[in-house]
């Protein structure tokens, strides 16, 4: 009996595993299909200059309009794309779409206005692939967007774990693009290491911005000061409350992003922010 029950359990396990693998394979196939059939789109979250209260540019955030599933957020499919090679195709698509969009907005920007910038998230897997440099160079060339208007966001984990990633980052910076460390504070990079890394911008993770712990608040002020010592620009992520923004201003944080300022929005809405208010008021 025990033996039979044991086999039954093994069969149940096999069945669960089989279903899981099937679901994974189906999602993978659906992502590949989505990339080839225009189901992906970009939303744009404005980034604001804290001291001047002015729009600087946007972070491009991928969305998947999956038939029968509605709008799928990246956290639901990026991990699957990462576990297959698809993430590089996705990153390439995002790079192409974001640079094309920004080049278009730049062309429409009045000469006396600052040119909007765009930040694109790059997966750690893609960053360790030597093709990343070519992919970024291709997107810049095809769109005509000047490299100085593009920032690549990478997470700190990949920076500490892979020397190939550091080499690629240095080559990317040689193209003239800026590099930002995303979600800073959630990994294992110490503030002291920042000075040795080929990066331009530090994005402080929203968990620190949201925290009411006095120790965390002090830490945010310290991160900003240390980053400035190394010549880095600091962006606060996930600003949701007025008092958070006020504190960031007092701490001399350069830029901020968050629901208090703007939520991620469609390209049409993001582009409208660049046009003078008088033009919008006419219809
Ligand atoms: P991230 O790069 O740290 O992007 C910020 C995330 O925080 C976005 O979620 C954004 O919608 C959300 N957010 C912004 N402001 C606030 C706020 O005030 N409060 C809260 N609670 N959330 C806020 P989203 O769009 O769901 O993206 C999640 C993550 O997926 C991103 O984190 C990024 O790591 C990844 N991702 C997004 N787009 C891409 C992409 O095109 N390529 C790659 N490789 N990864 C992407
Ligand atoms: Mg990001
Ligand atoms: Mg982030
Ligand atoms: Mg993140």
pLDDT in tens, 86-121: 999 999 999 999 999 999 999 999 888 899 999 999
Could you tell me which of 206, 238, 232, 208 has the C-alpha nearest to residue 220?
208
User: For ligand 1, is residue 155 a contact (CB within 6 Å)?
Assistant: no
Q: Which residues contact 189 (CB under 8 A, 6 or more apart)?
A: 156, 159, 160, 181, 197
The residue whose CA has the least distance to atom 2 of ligand 1 is 121
By the 8 A CB rule, do 49 and 261 touch? no
Q: At what angle do helices 86-108 and 2-36 cross, to 10 degrees?
A: 30
Q: Are 255 and 245 in contact (CB under 8 A)?
A: no
CA–CA dist 19, 11 (Å, integer): 12
Contacts of 226 (CB under 8 A, 6+ apart): 191, 192, 194
| Summary mean pLDDT of the chain | 91
Say how far apart CA 90 and CA 32 lie, in whole Å: 9
| H or E stretch covering 183 | strand 178-184
Tell me which ligand sits closest to the C-alpha of residue 127: 1
Number of the ligand closest to the Cα of 77: 1
88 CB-side CA count, 13 A: 13
Contact 150, 99 (CB under 8 A): yes
Query: What are the tokens at 29?
Result: 């196939």
Q: How far is the CA of 63 from the centre of ligand 1 (A)?
A: 10
CA distances (Å), origin 122, targets 17, 183, 204, 254: 30, 13, 17, 22
**Residue 98 CB–ligand 1 contact under 6 Å:** no
pLDDT of residue 6: 65
Is the shortest distance between the CB of 123 and ligand 1 below 6 Å? yes
pLDDT lower than 50: segments of the chain:
283
The end-to-end CA distance of the chain, in Å, is 78
Compute, in angstroms, the gap from residue 190 CA to the centroid of ligand 2.
20
């Amino acid at each position: 009996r025990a033996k039979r029950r044991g086999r039954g359990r093994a069969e149940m396990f096999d069945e669960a595993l089989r279903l899981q693998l099937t679901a994974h394979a189906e999602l993978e196939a659906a992502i590949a299909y989505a990339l080839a059939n225009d189901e992906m789109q970009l939303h744009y979250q404005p980034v604001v200059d804290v001291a001047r209260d002015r729009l600087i540019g946007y972070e491009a955030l991928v969305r998947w309009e999956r038939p029968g599933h509605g709008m799928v957020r990246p956290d639901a499919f990026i991990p699957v794309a990462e576990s297959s090679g698809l993430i590089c195709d996705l990153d390439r698509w995002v790079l192409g779409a974001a640079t094309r969009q920004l080049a278009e907005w730049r062309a429409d920007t009045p000469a006396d206005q600052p040119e909007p910038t765009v930040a694109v998230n790059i997966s750690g897997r893609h960053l360790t692939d030597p093709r990343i440099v070519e992919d970024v160079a291709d997107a810049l060339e095809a769109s005509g967007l000047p490299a100085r208007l593009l920032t690549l966001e990478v997470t700190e984990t990949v920076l500490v774990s892979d020397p190939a990633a550091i080499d690629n980052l240095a080559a990317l910076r040689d193209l003239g693009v800026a590099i930002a460390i995303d979600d800073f504070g959630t990994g294992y990079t110490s503030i002291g290491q920042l000075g040795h890394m080929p990066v331009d911008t530090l994005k402080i993770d929203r968990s620190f911005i949201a925290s009411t712990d006095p120790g965390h608040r002090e830490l945010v002020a310290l991160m900003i000061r240390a980053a400035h010592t190394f010549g880095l620009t600091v962006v606060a992520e996930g600003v949701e409350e007025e008092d958070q923004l006020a504190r960031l201003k007092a701490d001399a944080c350069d830029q901020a992003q968050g629901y208090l300022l703007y939520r991620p929005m469609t390209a049409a809405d993001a582009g409208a922010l660049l046009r003078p208010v008088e033009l919008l008021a006419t219809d």
